[in-house]
Amino acid sequence: MKRIKGINVLKAKLLDFTEEILYSLTCELQRIGRTVKFLELKYSPFCDEVIFYMDAIRLDENAEIILDTSFADASEKFLRSCISDLEINFFGLIDLLELLKGVEGKNGILPSIFKPVTGEYITHEQQDREAWVCLCGNMPNYNGFYACDEDGDLIEPGNEWEYLYRCEYCRRVINDRNLQVIGINLNPNSEEG
Q: Which residues bind Zn ion (CB under 5 A)?
A: 134, 136, 138, 167, 169-170, 172
Other Cβ atoms less than 10 A from the Cβ of 130: the count is: 8
In the bound complex, what is the minimum distance in angstroms from residue 155's beta carbon to Zn ion? 18
Q: How far is the CB of 136 from Zn ion (least distance, A)?
A: 3
**Greatest alpha-carbon span in the chain:** 70
C-beta closer to Zn ion: residue 97 or 135: 135
Cβ 160 to Zn ion, closest distance in Å?
24
Is there a contact between 29 and 59 (Cβ–Cβ < 8 Å)? yes
Cβ 185 to Zn ion shortest distance, Å:
12
β-bridge partners, 74: 71
CA 148, CA 130: separation in Å to the nearest integer?
17
- When the beta carbons of 96 and 164 are compared against Zn ion, the nearer one is 164
User: Kind of pairing, strands 180-184 and 172-175?
Assistant: antiparallel
Residue 120 CB, shortest distance to Zn ion, in Å, is 10
- What CA–CA distances, in Å, run from 193 to 69, 155, 189? 33, 5, 9
CA distance 99 to 173: 21
Residues 6+ apart with CB under 8 A from 108: none
Q: Which of residues 65 and 184 has its CB atom nearest to Zn ion in the complex?
A: 184
Please, which residue, 138 or 189, has the CB nearer to Zn ion?
138
Q: Which is nearer to Zn ion, 120 or 150 (CB)?
A: 120
